[in-house]
Structure 1
Amino acid sequence: MSDEHAGWDEAVATAHAAFAAQDFTVLVGAELTRFEPGVVEVRVPFRSALRQQFGFVHGGVIAYAVDNAVTFAAGTRLGPELLTSGITVSYLRPARGDLTAIATVVGTTRRQAVVRCEVFAETDDGPVLVASGQGTAVATGPAADR
């Protein structure tokens, strides 16, 4: 196994541990289902506790999925010590069913990453795009001093 591969395996393990250590993530029931260089996927299984008054997935749950997917995708480029500095979310249609947020790094500097994110809801006809977002994450650890 090459050092680069071993380093990536360590990054994946660190990401999964950090994801599981977030109390809100546990509360929502989210899963980190994909963690690759520049791309992350976060899944949020649908359950009644995540609904708003009309029975759709609450917009805050969708925003959470964008926020976490954006920051973890940024982490594939900047390392684990970073924070979200901003997100925007555009809701396209109400969501029912399991959510999948797919975040892709658009570009990075030494201290920040810009990431786009699409959120899909699973329906009987397959996945439907329910929201689109973008965010920026900034390095907070030693990488920020470079």
Structure 2
Amino acid sequence: MDLTLDDARSVLAAQPFSALLGTRITAFGDGTATLELEMKDEHRQQFGYAHGGVIAYLVDNALTFAGGSRLGPQVLTAGYTIDLVAPARGPLLRADATVVSASGRRAVCRAEVRDVSSDVLCAVAQGTIALAGSKADG
């Protein structure tokens, strides 16, 4: 099944939390996905940087969309690790994810989050994406 960027946009639009944050997907397909988020004051922590939870959300969703581009639309995050390497000030954050390996019901993916205005690398992550209904989703 070949999924398109429009398909991915429909999936993202169906996620109430993504709609709340204002996330958009700007690239999707062939083992890759890119998400963007315009930071609002509500996305910041007490020092004015993007909250770590916002960065983790971008990683989670970017990894899952990249994995879904290979496995299909019925996927869930099985797990990921993230390293926050620099604070993100915004106003625009971008998460790029790529499938490293996909076979059977699982895909291993990598992601980076950048503060676009300063081109600062803010986070790196690796995760496993699994087809829904597998042992990974309980």
* 1:70 alignment partner, one of 63, 72, 76: 63
Q: Secondary structure at the match of 1:119?
A: strand
Tell me the equivalent position of 1:47. 40
Q: Does the 8 Å CA contact 1:96/1:122 hold for their aligned counterparts? A: no
Deviation at 1:11, TM superposition (A): 3.7
Q: Distance in 1 between matches of 2:130 and 2:53?
A: 22
* 2:105 alignment partner, one of 97, 111, 114: 111
Q: Distance in 2 between matches of 1:34 and 1:105?
A: 14
Q: Distance in 1 between matches of 2:9 and 2:102?
A: 22
Tell me the equivalent position of 2:21. 28
Deviation at 1:88, TM superposition (A): 0.9
Gaps of 5+ in 2: none
Q: Distance in 1 between matches of 2:26 and 2:6?
A: 12
Q: Distance in 2 between matches of 1:141 and 1:76?
A: 17
Deviation at 1:140, TM superposition (A): 1.7
Q: Deviations over 1:82-115 (max 9, x none)?
A: 1000011100011111110000000011100000
Q: Distance in 1 between matches of 2:95 and 2:43?
A: 16
Deviation at 1:141, TM superposition (A): 5.7
Q: Is 1:127 matched with 2:115?
A: no
Coordinate RMSD, CA, aligned = 1.5
Q: Deviations over 1:108-131 (max 9, x none)?
A: 1110000000000023xx411000
Give every structure 1 segment of 4 or more consecutive aligned residues whose post-TM-superposition deviation is greater than 3 Å.
Answer: none
Q: Distance in 2 between matches of 1:136 and 1:51?
A: 27
TM-score in terms of structure 1 length: 0.86
> In the alignment, residue 109 of structure 1 is paired with which amino acid?
S
Q: Secondary structure at the match of 1:33?
A: strand
